[in-house]
Structure 1
């Protein structure tokens, strides 16, 4: 039995992948409707994080941020209240590296193992097993969880001790987010100049400017289909963690600072829960495109 706490976009995709691989799941979400949506063969609904820990020795977390992770693990009826020594918590949250490291140390004192196992990709990509996983934690514990990662990932990388998976994810998200931003900027400039943006996207994909962002987000930006794969406000949270990491390491991140300002504008425009490709709408508004 595998525990899974958090049944949002990514968590729901994980349920599908684990079921496809024949893994039985003990699942919980604070929203009871999300639990009901997954009831059926191979899924045991749970009443609390502690209930999950009663049923499973390995527990996957798919949660919004590190504060929610701490509450789910250490709060009343949390995982820690029921987990037995030797249990493993696999946190897929895009987390604050400092908080992940502190939680790992706290759990270690109770003989509970912890991996920060960040996912590179959207919920759609999880469903297609087209994501990468970057893991922080000890190698022996990592090796005990390879079947979990193989169920939904293209490849998994062990990045080092606790916190390094979380740090690696933030650095990758820095580059990925700026790829989205510059694609959006280029498409908006093309619209203003009258260049055919559908043809231009094909040129992007075939030339030196190519990145996979164009395959995943290009059509969404052109058509305005911002059905959520990964929410804009969630990426703003990631960017704020990136800026914090830069400040703590005394690393200037000037372009990321501008990116954060544009994302905040997107939230103010009501795009918070739209797909992160909706950053293009911020630039369209700035350019006077309706």
Structure 2
């Protein structure tokens, strides 16, 4: 086990002995720093904090946050967990809305409270308290968790019942991802035209083409610094979820379909574990 590292971006936070985290990757590790959670468990033992197992977290924490790759993994973790009445499960996983709604119903039968509290923003933005929480579940439970959310989020939206947070996250991620892809294509086009990338980014930021993706990913793309803040493969997973949800409702998402094809090509190039700004490398290839 390791002790949680101190964030260089924020002062020391209040420790919360009743709060634990399952999943200590990029987002989970950032949540540990910001919330003051007492325990954190991960499948990678090197990431664990004061916990040798997920069971230890569930046994000792009144509030357990899940930060996992997908909702099916979250389902497996919860199926194996010995939850107890009154315990609050805050699931930050970007997952299948139907699965997450079912998790909420199943946990309610056990007397537990479940929120699908999805997070819009990267791990670095979370460390700056610059993310949005979109929570599905009972409004009173959202309010009970607000003190925790306020440690890392600039805004909290109650989206509706269980599953609503996951649905809203897919909508916002669709638009966010397309903004990021459009930025990458614009920078690749600027390069082909002989326009300095820094000048192109400055012009896009100053005019009607602006999106927040430029603030978060613009400099990374220009420097071709793909140190992961949010992995490319994770957004590809989200795009597949979006298309599945749209298909179930008889809807096509043509722009998302194109974006998915680009990310699948990027993953095939070995870029999946890099930051999602690495989509630029696929678009730069289209010059040849």
- TM-score for the superposition, normalised by structure 2: 0.92
Deviation at 1:26, TM superposition (A): 2.0
Residues 231 and 276, structure 1, Cα contact 8 Å, conserved in 2: yes
- Say which SS state the counterpart of residue 72 (structure 2) adopts: helix
Structure 2, unmatched stretches of 5+, are 1-17
Q: Residue 56 of structure 2 is aligned with which of 10, 27, 51?
A: 51
Alpha-carbon displacement from aligned partner over 1:119-175 (angstroms, at most 9, x marks no partner):
000000111111000000011111111111111100100000010000000000000
Alpha-carbon displacement from aligned partner over 1:32-58 (angstroms, at most 9, x marks no partner):
1011xx5xxxxxx11222211110111
Q: In the alignment, what sits opposite 2:216?
A: 216
Q: Partners in 1 of 2:35 and 2:115 — Cα distance?
A: 18
Residues 136 and 161, structure 1, Cα contact 8 Å, conserved in 2: yes
- TM-score for the superposition, normalised by structure 1: 0.91
Q: In the alignment, what sits opposite 1:25?
A: 38
Q: Partners in 1 of 2:282 and 2:40 — Cα distance?
A: 37
Q: In the alignment, what sits opposite 1:229?
A: 229
- Say which SS state the counterpart of residue 205 (structure 2) adopts: helix
Q: In the alignment, what sits opposite 1:5?
A: 22
- Say which SS state the counterpart of residue 117 (structure 1) adopts: strand
Deviation at 1:251, TM superposition (A): 2.2
Alpha-carbon displacement from aligned partner over 1:162-198 (angstroms, at most 9, x marks no partner):
1000000000000000001111111111111111111
Q: Partners in 2 of 1:10 and 1:154 — Cα distance?
A: 16
- Say which SS state the counterpart of residue 250 (structure 1) adopts: coil
Structure 1, unmatched stretches of 5+, are 39-44
Q: What CA RMSD, in Å, does the superposition of the two structures yield over aligned residues?
A: 1.0
Moved more, 243-252 or 214-223: 243-252
Q: In the alignment, what sits opposite 2:68?
A: 63
